[in-house]
Structure 1
Amino acid sequence: MSSLNINGKLLDLQIPVVMGIINCTPDSFYDGGATLTVDHALRQTEKMIHEGAKIIDVGGYSSRPDGQDISVEEEKSRVLPVIEAIAKRFEVGLSCDSFRESVITQALSHGANIVNDISAGKLDEEMLETVGSAQVPYIMMHMRGTPQTMKSLTNYENLITDINLYFSKRIAAARSHGINDIVIDAGFGFAKTVEQNYELLKKMNLLKAHDVPILAGLSRKSMIYKTLGIEAKDALNGTTALHMVALQKGASILRVHDVKEAVETIQLFQALQKYA
């Protein structure tokens, strides 16, 4: 599958696309607090769309390791006004990043048209039914446990085999609920050590066996700044380097903080493909 059906319009993924991150959280690892107001989120969205983002991803629950667990109502209060405002002003793929079905239900009614679930439906048993009924694209990520427990769940018998088995089961579950458009997110940084993240990136092409688009979420993550001995704010260059690797390994969507640089990386990747 090389496209996503978003409100009856097909988003072509034969050329990779960029998803821009709007964090409505005060404690995200990189830009926490930056887009907590609706006005700032709208300005950021406009900038990202102008730079070439095809999808905007709005999240209100920080899923970084040891992130604070917040109430459903708090999460809704963060994301719903932003989603509604973006949906009214821009025609764009609009994703809600949440593992809670009740948040997703309201996000969809406020204008979201894609669901991005870090738990692949495992943290809320009603999620898959809701997404199937809504007939919207579903992004499912590989993770073990919860954001609060995942750092202790990094023992794998075989990393890639285990991840592929996970996706086989979760894709089958999603299909059984009538979900047609599925994207898999390898889950860099989620229940994986720095070394495992690099192994996963090197072998990410093996996830193509599922015949669904692959999303790579590498932007400014600890696998970059810990390896380089820098901070997340200084990790754009490292992000760009790994984005090119992800594209070479089959990524169809780059989920990023920095849209312009990611779009340029895709343009260079496409130029390179002409001589493959």
Structure 2
Amino acid sequence: MKRKTFTWHCRNKKLLLGERTLIMGILNSTPDSFSDGGQFYSLEKALEHSLKMAEDGADIIDIGGESTRPGSERVNLNEELKRTIPLIQALRAKNTVAISIDTTKAEVAKQALLAGANIINDVSGFQLDPEMANVAKALDAGCAVMHMRGTPDNMQNLCKYKDLIDDVKDELNQSMTQLLDLGLNKNQLVLDPGIGFSKTAEQNIEIMKRLSDFHSLGYPMLLGTSRKSFIGHILDETDAQERVWGTAASLCVGIQHGAHIMRVHDVKQMAQVCKVYDFCS
């Protein structure tokens, strides 16, 4: 399908969405993320990998200091700040790439934006911390608003839906409406249907088949499928790092259904996949 174009306002950056697929590279500065936990835990390694992702085609570097895999434990504020803020400062000093902070804590988001980040990527849909929306408004941040129920440690107990697509759409729309009512502008907001969050493998597959239904909400779409368990379910592959080409196929499905931004681990490979699909479609 032909994508609608949007301009995403992200502090001092404006990202054009829709003319080509944008790549958001994942940088987990954590010891326990589901696929790459511990790989980029030191500042030196994290910075090196961030710069490599930018060189390989990432339009956005998404930095997180707390794992959101199912059943993951929360980390305290100071630890999350220690894992993320020095990295954002170091990356911003060396590169102009857009930076996203992956957090559910308003204070982490605030410090990240002041350190040079442009975007808040909140897996709770700006629901867990009541101050998050105020931070986004005050600092004019781009906002990636994801669908999730509960928290990462209990979300997989909250997968019962009356009608999966309608319920996810309604809950996302409620999050968006709350943000608009608090004074954010629509051009700051991007939706994420939350693949892998509060959903079974079968439900994730159903959402992938019906991604185009979410365009009726009127926002650009971020899609995060990289190496996730529903791909392992399809492939019968338990090793997340062996799901690269399954991820590639999921990106093609996403572009076919009009998604604008892909959040991925394997930036160089997935940037090639998206570029070829964009060019030939």
Query: TM-score interval w.r.t. the shorter chain?
Result: over 0.9
Could you say which residue in structure 1 is the equivalent of 2:216? 209
Could you say which residue in structure 1 is the equivalent of 2:256? 248
| Preserved CA contact (<8 Å) 1:138 1:179 | no
| Range 221-230 or range 130-139, more displaced | 221-230
One-letter identity of the residue aligned with 1:3: T
Alignment partners' CA distance in 2, 1:250 and 1:108: 29
Alignment partners' CA distance in 1, 2:114 and 2:218: 30
> Does residue 61 in structure 1 map to residue 66 in structure 2?
yes
Instruction: State the 1:108 CA deviation.
Output: 1.1
Could you say which residue in structure 2 is the equivalent of 1:191? 198
- Give the 3-state SS of the residue equivalent to 1:96 in structure 2: strand
Instruction: State the 1:139 CA deviation.
Output: 0.4
Equivalent pairs, count: 273
Alignment partners' CA distance in 1, 2:132 and 2:10: 18
Out of 247, 253, 263, the residue aligned to residue 271 of structure 2 is 263
Could you say which residue in structure 1 is the equivalent of 2:89? 84
Can you list the C-alpha shifts for 1:237-268, whole angstroms capped at 9, x where unaligned? 10001110011111100000011121112112
> Does residue 47 in structure 1 map to residue 52 in structure 2?
yes
CA RMSD across the alignment: 1.1
Could you say which residue in structure 2 is the equivalent of 1:234? 242
One-letter identity of the residue aligned with 1:9: K
| Range 191-200 or range 43-52, more displaced | 43-52
> Does residue 11 in structure 1 map to residue 15 in structure 2?
yes
Out of 165, 169, 172, the residue aligned to residue 164 of structure 1 is 169
| Preserved CA contact (<8 Å) 2:12 2:118 | no
| Preserved CA contact (<8 Å) 1:133 1:178 | no
| Range 196-205 or range 100-109, more displaced | 100-109
Instruction: State the 1:223 CA deviation.
Output: 0.5
Q: Structure 1, unaligned stretches of length 5 or more? A: none
Alignment partners' CA distance in 2, 1:215 and 1:51: 19
Could you say which residue in structure 2 is the equivalent of 1:150? 155
| Range 228-237 or range 6-15, more displaced | 6-15
TM-score by length of 1: 0.96
Alignment partners' CA distance in 1, 2:257 and 2:203: 16
Instruction: State the 1:130 CA deviation.
Output: 1.2
Could you say which residue in structure 2 is the equivalent of 1:225? 232
Alignment partners' CA distance in 2, 1:105 and 1:267: 33
Instruction: State the 1:68 CA deviation.
Output: 1.5
- Give the 3-state SS of the residue equivalent to 2:190 in structure 1: strand
Alignment partners' CA distance in 1, 2:151 and 2:13: 34
Percent sequence identity over matched residues?
Answer: 38
Q: Structure 2, unaligned stretches of length 5 or more? A: none
Instruction: State the 1:8 CA deviation.
Output: 3.2
Alignment partners' CA distance in 2, 1:68 and 1:10: 35
Can you list the C-alpha shifts for 1:108-155, whole angstroms capped at 9, x where unaligned? 111111100001111011111110111111001000000000111000
Instruction: State the 1:74 CA deviation.
Output: 1.2
TM-score by length of 2: 0.94
One-letter identity of the residue aligned with 2:246: G
One-letter identity of the residue aligned with 2:256: Q
> Does residue 23 in structure 1 map to residue 28 in structure 2?
yes
Alignment partners' CA distance in 2, 1:107 and 1:6: 13
Alignment partners' CA distance in 2, 1:176 and 1:84: 32
| Preserved CA contact (<8 Å) 1:28 1:64 | yes
Instruction: State the 1:177 CA deviation.
Output: 2.2
| Preserved CA contact (<8 Å) 2:10 2:140 | no
Could you say which residue in structure 1 is the equivalent of 2:99? 94
Alignment partners' CA distance in 1, 2:85 and 2:249: 34
Instruction: State the 1:4 CA deviation.
Output: 1.6
Can you list the C-alpha shifts for 1:138-182, whole angstroms capped at 9, x where unaligned? 001000000000111000000110011112111111112222210
